[in-house]
Structure formats: structure tokens, C-alpha cells
Chain A
Amino acid sequence: MTASLYLAWQYIRFNKFKTVILVASITLIAVLPLALEILLAESERQLLNRAKSTPLLIGAKGSALDLAMNSLYFDDEVPEVMTMAAVERIYDTDLALPIPLYVRFQARGLPIIGTSFDYFEFRNLSVAQGRSLTMLGDCVLGAKAAAKLGLGPGDSLVSSPENLFDLAGVYPLKMKVAGVLAANHTADDLAVFVDIKTAWIIQGLGHGHQDVTRTRDSTVILKRTDGNVAANAKLFHYTEITDDNLDGFHFHGDTSIYPLTAIISVPNDEKAGTLLRGRYLEREDAQQIIQPAEVIDGLLQNIFRIRNVLDAVIALVGLATLLTMALVFTLSLRLRQREIQTIFKLGCRKAMIGRMLLAEILIILLVSSMLCAVALQITDANAEELVRRLFVG
């Protein structure tokens, strides 16, 4: 067998190009489904981890998946909104801690998360640079968001308008970067966090403008009555919240009707969680309560059904490639007929010729297996990061 291996190795070395193509084809066929398996398993783990760490989510009735994806992974798809009154409703039950979420706006392609301080504690998010949110208009950036935007404490970040063609829309808000969070390897790393009230200001529900009661510019005032001043569009609106104009920012109407996309509910205990879920069972209730782990699990089941189809496609493509390779090998045997004839004339047994060809196949398979093992090892070692890049952004 040593001589067969030696001769096979010489043949493979001499025909480098052909060998490299063969090895690459075999390696790819083997690596693709296996690497996909590793990445899917890791993505399942990561998705479920995030979902499992979020006990209950409350949102307006609608797609539970949209609610979970928006609230957990800050997906672009905004679920039906509900009002801030839903937070009071949970407080009133005394069963859970409500953490409001308003995930609707973006800044330079990154989601702006309007929330409360409780969110940072709940997700174990700590400030790595700068400070946390202290005043309206402040924002803190996730670790990757800061790196991606090249921003740090003291810099500014402007919110993106929802619709570029809405001329009557709200001015974008220039936010001050107060701090940068330490990486926690979740969707939080690629997010911009603001206080829930700042999110409402971005929407235009709260605003700041020049003091109409003190202005001397009569062209700004439409009507002045006792206790009320109506101004026209000439009135100057602030697009940045500073210490000087902070007092000029205000919200009109009752903030309890201001919008939220979700509330993370952290029950006091398991029983409290069950009781809380019971409160949202009424058909007429405008809100729904979901267990994110169940919703994401359902999503994964669907992904796995798709994966089965994908596996079948890969298997068929792999089979077709193997058959093509068998054809190539058979044709190359024909091309090597003269060589085989020579070897036979020199006194070689047919079994020896078979052994030489088998040794060639074995070497190619061995090299492919080694490359495959290395590729899978690398995939496995980097699966967490790869999945984060694929899923987190």
C-alpha cells in the first residue's frame, strides 16, 4: 500500500489544479450543511436565550411575532402601539415591574429604544464610557453602535425622519451622546437608548419652542387671548435640547395616552406571572401578553421546517456534484487508459492499479475531510460571533 500511496501522491501533486478543484468541491459539499447546522444551533441558542431572559411582554393585540421581534431584537417591523396607561395598569396589579419600550425610530440606521432606567438594570447593561441618561435629549449607545457610528460621549446623534417626503413632519432631534454601554453580545449592542420621553419628543408629541408669551415679534402670533396664545408656523422650534432650552420643552395633553410599542413585565414571582397572564385573557382586552420564549420557539420550529427543505436541496445538490465528480473521475480514467495500459504492460496487477486509484481517492477524501474539519472547527469557534453578525446586524 505504501507504493500505491506514493504513486497516488505523486499523481495528485502533479495535477494540482484538478486536485484543488476536486478537494474544494468535496469540502464545500460537506462543510455547507454541517456549518449551517452549527450556525442554526447557535442562532437557536442565542434567540432563545434572549427570549427566555424576557419573562413576559405586553403589547397591543396583533402579531405576537412582530411584538417579540421588535421588543427583543429591535426589528424594523413596528407592532401595533398601545398607550402609557398600560404601564399604570401593571403597576396597579402590584404583580410585576413594567418596563416601557417604544421602538419605532432610527438614527443613522440604528434603532432608537425609548425606555426607562429599569431596562438597563433588567438587561444588566452597564455604562462603559461616559454616563447614563440624565436629561431629555440624552442618548446612550450600545457598544457596537458606538463603534459603527464612530461616536463617543459628548458627540451628537441626529434622529432620522420617518419619512423623507413628509414636509410637514417633525424636525429630527439632535441627541447628545451621554455614554456608551459595555458590550453584552445581544441586540442591545447595536441600539441607541433614550428615555421614553425623548422618544416621544422625536415623534413630536413633546416639543420645545420660543416663549410665545414673551416674544415681541407680532408676526409670530396668530391670536392672543386670556391664558392662551396661538402662534403660526414661524414659531421657532428647538431641534436640540440644551440646558438653556430644557425648560421650554413640554408635552401637550395627558401622557397616559402617549404611545408604547411594548412593556416588558418582570413578575414578582412565578405565581404573579401566572396571575398577570390571567388578567389579559379577556377577548375584549385591547392588549395581549406573550411569553417570548414560546413565540420564538414557534418561529424556530418554522425555521427548522425551512431548514429541512434547505437540507434536502443541499443533499440533492451534493448528490448531483458527487455524480458529476464520479463522471469526471470515470472520464479521467478513460484519459488515463494509456497510462494504465503501460503500467499493465510493465507487469502491474489489475488489483494494484485499483489500489493506486483508490489511494488517490482516499488522499483526496482525507485532505477534504481535514479541510472540512478545520472549517467546521473555525465555524464552531466563531459561531457565536457569526450568528451575532447575521442576526444582530
Chain B
Amino acid sequence: MINISDLHFHYPCSEFRLAVSEFAVSSAEKVAVVGPSGSGKTTLLNLLAGILTPDQGKVQVGEIAVSNLGDAGRRDFRISNIGFVFQDFELLDYLSILDNILHPYRITGALKLSAEVRQRAIYLTEQMGIAEHLKKHPGELSQGEKQRAAICRALLPNPSLILADEATGNLDPSNKTRILDLLFKCVEDHDATLVAVTHDHELLPRFDRVIDFQAFQAGGGS
């Protein structure tokens, strides 16, 4: 599913350097990426999503060589293939929960908002147990409910790859387990691949594979 080879990246005006010689994730695999802050975990997710472009090397997701795409191509790729779950949920305060979940369909021409999509959004919220909050705004929801809404938004376009950047970072232990259960269930139901950055070592046994990103960068192993 994911193949990265000879990847080099740096931010302008920063000494940070990311170098990955080989990185591969199989289809439908659930991979946890761990490592200290500043090791480049989030940067890796952004490179996989096509938000950032590498200085050198190749990023391939499925049949698509993401690193070779232009701006518009990467955007279309992201919309069609990636579901991103952000650490701070990144829900928009001024939109209702339903509008937040449907948001990707309103900001891109590549996704068409239809009655079917709305139905599916409602179905997802029912699965996540937040169906009664559709008309509420994020400010009225608990952290766990917000994260479930963010997961619904990521899953709605049926992405083949789900990238979760410390998706459980802000949650209490009971909610962490619950959210991870839901995320795994959705990933399995949709036959998607999951790459999740996490600091939470208690959750690691539940993933198919764990990559220590610092060690991985230094030695290239997993």
C-alpha cells in the first residue's frame, strides 16, 4: 500500500532533516508510529498525505506516486484517498457536527455532496454514537465526542488510507480505548490501511506493527 524510498525532506529556515531510506506498509495493515517529539512523525504523515513534498525520493501510495504529483494532483489524491484524523480534532467551531463531517464535500469539487452522502454521514455518526449531536456545534460536545466526529469526517469519503496524528492524545483512558476500538472497527469495515502516530504505549499492542521512528530513521529498520 505504502512505499517510501530514499526520502529526504527539510523545512525552509529550519535545521530539521527527515531521511527515510525504506518504509513500507501493507494494505489493510494497522501501523503505529512512535517516537519523541520532533522526530518527524507528523512530517511523515504530511508527506504521505501529499500535504508536503519531499526534496528527494519517492512516496507511493497504492498505484499513485504521490511525490511526482503537482499541487492539484496531490490535492485530488488527498481528497480521494486519504482520511486524516488530527490530534486536536480540527473541527470548525462555527459549523454543526453534521456540517463538519460533510465539510470536505463542500470545499472540494472532487467530492459531490448528495443525499446518499448525507445518509452515510448519519449512518457513521450512529455507529460512533453521536447521532443525537448532529445539530450541535463542537463547543457543546465532550472531547471524546469531538474526536468521534473528526473520525466520521475522515471516514466519510471511504478513504483507502487513514492517517491519524495522535488521534487519542487528548482523551482520557476510557475514551482512548473506546475511540481506538471505533477507529479499528471502521478501518476493518472499510478495508482501509491505518498509519497512526501515537505517544501512548499502552495502545501499541493493538496495532499490527509498531515503528519507533527515531530508531527507524537512524537504522532504517522497523
Contacts and interface: CB of A to CB of B under 8 A. Distances in A.
A14 interface: yes
Interface in B60-118: 72, 75-76, 78-79, 84, 86, 90, 92-96, 99, 103-104, 106-108, 110, 113
Contacts of B110: 347
Contacts, number: 55
Given A342-B92, A349-B75, A3 B49 contact: no
Contact of B107 (A14, A338, A352): A352
B137 interface: yes
A347 B108 contact: yes
B154 to A, nearest CB: 9
Nearest to B154: A346
A257 interface: no
Contact of B84 (A14, A15, A346): A346
A7 interface: yes
A348 B107 CA distance: 5
Given A339-B92, A347-B78, A3 B106 contact: yes
Contacts of A391: none
B107 A345 contact: no
A349 B90 CA distance: 18
A10 B94 contact: yes
A377 B12 CA distance: 57
Contacts of A11: 94
Interface string A339-357: 1001111111100100010
B182 to A, nearest CB: 20
A91 interface: no
B93 A352 contact: no
Nearest to B90: A342
Nearest to B157: A347
Nearest to B51: A345
A342 B108 contact: no
B106 A346 contact: no
A108 interface: no
Interface in B105-159: 106-108, 110, 113, 137
Interface in A334-374: 338-339, 342-349, 352, 356
A346 B51 contact: no
A6 interface: yes
Contacts of A338: 90
A13 interface: yes
A347 B104 contact: yes
A229 B198 CA distance: 120
A10 B103 CA distance: 12
A15 B139 CA distance: 13
A347 B111 CA distance: 10
A6 B106 contact: yes
Interface string A273-296: 000000000000000000000000
Nearest to A7: B106
Contacts of A14: 93-95, 137
A347 B94 contact: no
Given A348-B107, A352-B108, A342 B86 contact: yes
Nearest to B137: A14
B159 to A, nearest CB: 11
B92 A345 contact: no
Contacts of A10: 94-96, 99
A344 B108 CA distance: 10
B107 A346 contact: yes
Nearest to B104: A346
Most B CB contacts (10 A, CB to CB) among A14, A15, A344 go to A14
Contacts of B86: 342, 345
Interface in A33-83: none
A119 B138 CA distance: 75
Interface string B178-213: 000000000000000000000000000000000000
Most B CB contacts (10 A, CB to CB) among A10, A13, A339, A346 go to A346
A345 to B, nearest CB: 6
Contacts of B96: 10
A36 to B, nearest CB: 37
Interface string A1-27: 001001100110111000000000000
B42 to A, nearest CB: 11
B107 A343 contact: yes
A342 B85 CA distance: 11
A353 to B, nearest CB: 8
Contacts of B103: 343, 346
Contacts of B75: 347, 349
B34 to A, nearest CB: 22
Contacts of A339: 92
Interface string A96-122: 000000000000000000000000000
Contacts of B99: 10
A361 to B, nearest CB: 16
25 contacts: A3-B107, A3-B113, A6-B106, A7-B106, A7-B107, A10-B95, A11-B94, A13-B94, A14-B94, A14-B95, A14-B137, A342-B90, A342-B92, A343-B103, A345-B78, A345-B84, A345-B90, A346-B78, A346-B84, A346-B107, A347-B75, A347-B79, A348-B107, A348-B108, A352-B107
Interface of B: 49, 51, 72, 75-76, 78-79, 84, 86, 90, 92-96, 99, 103-104, 106-108, 110, 113, 137
Given A345-B86, A346-B108, A352-B107, 15 more contacts: A3-B113, A7-B95, A7-B107, A10-B94, A14-B95, A338-B90, A342-B86, A343-B103, A344-B51, A347-B75, A347-B79, A347-B107, A348-B108, A349-B75, A356-B107
